[in-house]
Amino acid sequence: MTAYTYKPLKFFALTLLISWVAFSLAAYFSYQPGQEPLQMIVTIAGSNVPFIVGLFMIYGSGNSALKQDYPRRLLRVNRAGLWGLPTALLLFPAALMLAVAISVLFGKSADQFKLVSELSLLIPILAPTFEELAWRGYGVDSLRSRYNLLQTSLLFSLVWGLWHVPMFFGNGYYQNELWQMGIPYVLNFFVSLVPFTIILNWLYYKTNRSILTAILFHIVAVVAPEAFGVEESTKFMQTGILLIVAAGIVVKDLAFFTADASPNPIDTRRAA
């Protein structure tokens, strides 16, 4: 069995290039009357580019260990321990509710504590799922093969932010709404990716690279603010809280975050 050498540059270059083309086309169609169906198709296609490229990198690698490692991690929960899944499900909502409580003290609406009566869950569930099948399925491990976990998390935050850039120019997209609200909201979006990534990567590796844990954390992080109709201004406080949590995790587990790169994290059991 030959050890696999991860190819982060190839993965992220292909992902960004193809995604940007798709998202740019979607942004163009968003300003063309009557092109909404085509805009939606191209947007969905662009959103799934990381997943498709990830599958191409894994199953086109010719490496049996890599190909067998991927499906074993998809539903891995037995190694998450008693804390992994509860943390994935509860940490973000707890930070969000604390942010809402602080915002209410400063005069914001207490309605942010109330569940929204009508909420579509299809996209908030599917989008994070397919992203994590790629990001934690291949992308983060590819960076981790070259860098320590802290460096990996910071680099991925940067790339993940770049991946979203074309969405700021599409009419009706969440990122474009932030752009219309002002630069501070745009900056908060990019800054928020840093603690989010640090916490998520910590969970991912602490649960023995459980993709399911990453998916659940990401879904909850997307659904929770929408479910409670959280105001955008409250998300500044949410980012601050998550920065404190992420910093605390890094300080407490500094050796884990600064350990040498892991060139071959693949689970090789039962690999040919």
Catalytic residues: 131, 164
Instruction: Calculate the alpha carbon distances from 136 to 139, 173, 236 in Å.
Output: 6, 25, 26
Token readout for 109 is 């609406």
State the sign of the Cα–Cα–Cα–Cα dihedral 124, 93, 218, 81. Answer: negative
The residue to which tokens 């981790």 are assigned? 144
Residue 267 and residue 73 in contact, taking contact as beta carbons nearer than 8 Å: yes
Residue 212 and residue 137 in contact, taking contact as beta carbons nearer than 8 Å: no
Closest residue by Cα to residue 164 from 177, 153, 179, 175: 175
Residue 69 and residue 59 in contact, taking contact as beta carbons nearer than 8 Å: no
Token readout for 250 is 């890094």
Other beta carbons within 10 Å of 59? 12
